[in-house]
Amino acid sequence: MLTKRIIPCLDIKDGRTVKGVNFVSLRDAGDPVELAQRYADEGADELVFLDISASEEKRKTLAQLVRNVAYAIDIPFTVGGGISSVEDVGILLENGADKVSINSAAVRRPELISELAQKFGTQCIVVAIDAKQIENEWVVHLVGGKVPTERKLFEWAAEAVDKGAGELLFTSMDHDGTKQGFANNALKQLSETVSVPVIASGGAGTVQHFIDTFARGNADAALAASVFHFKEIGIPELKSVLRNNQIPVR
């Protein structure tokens, strides 16, 4: 059985790590390089770095900050934010990213997924999907959750994988920052819909929430931010409890 992954997420705005609730009300959470180093030392399996305002501000991800974070850690490192071309990805990989996460640009032009997968390999391409429930349907949103689309979660997920996504990062906007648990019913359906790993995001508040998303949501990895940033949950302790609950972790 494949081991489950624990992934801290650095949401970056203006060069600092921030965290909000339901994609708004951002507050400072610290220096991204220092946090990244701490997570690598504590045993995180991977790290995700999202420049959350890059798409909105039509600005490219901060390549120098990516380089600084990559230099400080020895675990796989995914970078997202404002990526819209093969050139963008090349710059990030040259600066130390192992994988890239694409979101808004992929929805607007799905062929981008195929172009990136052909150039860099599917294992390098993570398609991030931000969705919220509207009239009992999971609706995909863009630009940091500000713009609703006609896309529905499960259909878009299947298309993204068909186009070459090697992994999906699903964030429930309804659960984001609430610390009430992950969207496990949607995650379970998503994992049954696609053949690639699914990363759960949005809602982590307790160790039990991680247990639930692996056991009930069939997530392959769980991503969280504030519970790690503010030391509400320690990664070594979390992994110990997961092992005690027969959930395989590294």
Q: What is the pLDDT of residue 141?
A: 95
Cβ neighbours, 10 Å, residue 149: 14
For the chain, domains (ranges, CATH) are 5-244 (3.20.20.70)
Q: Give the residues across from 21 on adjacent strands.
A: 24
Query: In this prediction, what percent of the chain has a pLDDT beyond 70?
Result: 89
Q: Which residues belong to the active site?
A: 11, 130
pLDDT digits (tens, 9 = 90+) for 103-126: 999 999 999 999 999 999 999 999
Q: Does 225 have pLDDT greater than 60?
A: yes
52-87 CB burial, b ≥16 within 10 A, e <16: bbbbbeeebbbbebbebbbebbebebbbbbbbbeee
Nearby residues of 101 by Cβ (< 8 Å), 6 or more positions away: 48, 50, 78, 79, 80, 81, 83, 126, 127, 128, 169
Mean pLDDT across the chain, nearest whole number?
A: 90
- For 201-216, what is each residue's pLDDT tens digit? 999 999 999 999 999 9
When comparing pLDDT for 167 and 32, which is higher?
167
List pLDDT tens digits, range 44-99: 999 999 887 655 444 456 788 899 999 999 999 999 988 999 999 999 999 999 99
Report, as an integer, the average pLDDT of 34-42. 93
> In a 3-state reduction of DSSP, which class is residue 174?
coil
Q: Which of 18-32, 155-169, 170-184, 209-223 has the lowest mean pLDDT?
A: 18-32
Give the pLDDT band (50/70/90) at residue 230.
confident
Distances in Å between the Cα of 78 and the Cα atoms of 44, 101, 148, 219 are: 13, 7, 25, 18
Give the residue, 178 or 23, on which the prediction is more confident.
178
Residue 58 has what pLDDT?
Answer: 45
Give pairs for 129-135: CB < 8 Å, separation 24+.
129/103, 129/153, 129/156, 129/157, 129/160, 129/168, 129/169, 129/170, 129/171, 130/23, 130/103, 130/171, 130/173, 131/170, 131/171, 131/172, 131/173, 131/186, 132/172, 132/173, 132/174, 133/174
